[in-house]
A = this chain, B = another copy of it.
Amino acid sequence: MATDREQVFKHLDEFKIELPSWGFADTGTRFGKFVQAAAASTIDQKLADAGVVNKYTACCPTVAVHVLWDFTVGVNATETAAIAKKYGVSIGSINPNLFQDQVYKFGSAASPNESARQHAHRHVQDCISIGKAVASRLYSFWFADGINYPGQDDLIARKRRMSAALRQWHDASPADATLLIEYKPFEPAFYATDVADWGMSYVFCKEAGPKCKVLVDTGHHLPGANIEQIVAWLIDEQMLGGFHFNDRKYADDDLTLGSIDPYAVFRIFHEIRTAAEVHGKDVSKIAYMIDQSHNLKPKIEAMIQTVMGAQELYAKACLVDRRKLADAQAAMDIVAAESCLKDAFFTDVRPLLAEWRKRKGVDADPMAAYRASGYEARVATEREAWRAARGVTSGGSYA
């Protein structure tokens, strides 16, 4: 093994994964939700669950929050930050909600409806305030904006409205803020989406200003898109802000990371390590965040599974013998070059991860340890009682 164990441990130490508050609540598909007794309803419950994931994995110190779902009007954001601290985590990226209100029927920032644009603007201002209150400098923008039918709206007009909003928000955010701009080809817009691919996100970021960076959601691509190439490009262009982790086979399926194509995830991490080790790029600012939406798996288990999978695949990427690889590439020996990747990918890194966890003082098998803790059964009982007392039937956030 060319990369030594201690170096891999060091890279794992730096590989922090942010948990999404909404990933602990009931979610579903447009055909319905399958509710879970242990699903979280409140920001307190969500932070508690996130704290549990962090406790067993030792690599998830921050929690992304979805403003509309987690900060009801009048809530004191500073108190929320204190609650997070109580559970051993802190507030990470701030996610505005620019799609759920009825006013957003035709979009938010790109809507032809001025009220919608103003509503979006006020909401983003609130988000910036919350970010300041919780000492987070990461704002993560996903726009559901788009149109469902040819002719529904003017595509250039929408592009310009979106661009104007982003410039405005860029300028209104703190000097040390980062605005992550996510792209997605379709859903919920089914004809044209206003930030449809990395190229559109890139151009919007360039036009808005240096605080804007591109966010890559691993499920937001057309069939066949080479995500790792996009990642390599964005790093080389100094425009990669971060990731939303999940996996997919068809559309934006929001499955746990690596459940469908683990080699593809490994290749993304390989590009990151290559950019750092071969090209000297600074990859320390890349924000790794989970954005999965499980309908079936228990929420916390799903999160632990993604975290463990991400760590294993990242460790494998650290093991690629990049000197040997560079030699094979220079010799145009495709078979040998490819084998460098396959050798690392098929190395069993589970013992290595177990050792790393031992050093961090956590169980070698986070999933088993969590299952043994009885946490899910306990909160299921508590939360069922909590919901019964309030007459609600589900712990959901999404519609």
A residues with a Cβ closer than 8 A to B are 27-35, 99-100, 102, 105-106, 112-113, 144, 148-157, 159-160, 185-188, 190-193, 196-200, 202-203, 222-226, 228-229, 232-233, 235-237, 248-251, 253-256, 259-264, 267, 270-271, 274-275, 278-279, 293, 295-298, 301-302, 305, 312, 325-326, 328-330, 332, 334-335, 337-341, 345-348, 350, 367, 398-399
Contacts and interface: CB of A to CB of B under 8 A. Distances in A.
Closest 10 CB pairs of A and B: A199-B199, A32-B399, A223-B223, A190-B253, A222-B222, A29-B188, A186-B250, A151-B341, A155-B232, A34-B105
A246 B181 CA distance: 32
A339 B264 CA distance: 18
A255 B148 contact: yes
A332 B261 CA distance: 22
Given A113-B332, A263-B263, 7 more contacts: A29-B187, A30-B30, A152-B329, A186-B253, A187-B251, A222-B225, A346-B346
Nearest to A226: B192
A202 B156 CA distance: 17
Nearest to A328: B151
A232 to B, nearest CB: 4
A187 to B, nearest CB: 7
B224 A271 contact: no
A254 B152 CA distance: 16
A12 B10 CA distance: 40
Contact of A237 (B185, B186, B203): B203
Of listed A32, A105, A153, residue having the most chain B CB within 10 A: A32
A254 B203 CA distance: 30
A198 B203 CA distance: 11
A197 to B, nearest CB: 6
How many copies of the chain does the oligomer comprise?
4
B31 A29 contact: no
Nearest to A116: B332
A56 to B, nearest CB: 14
B196 A229 contact: yes
A34 B233 contact: no
Nearest to A202: B199
B236 A399 contact: no
Given A99-B31, A151-B340, A329-B152, A260 B297 contact: no
A148 to B, nearest CB: 5
Contact of A260 (B191, B254, B346): B191
A340 B153 CA distance: 12
A250 B224 contact: yes
18 contacts: A31-B99, A32-B100, A149-B259, A149-B297, A149-B338, A150-B341, A151-B270, A154-B326, A155-B233, A156-B278, A157-B279, A190-B249, A222-B222, A223-B223, A226-B249, A262-B345, A305-B338, A339-B367
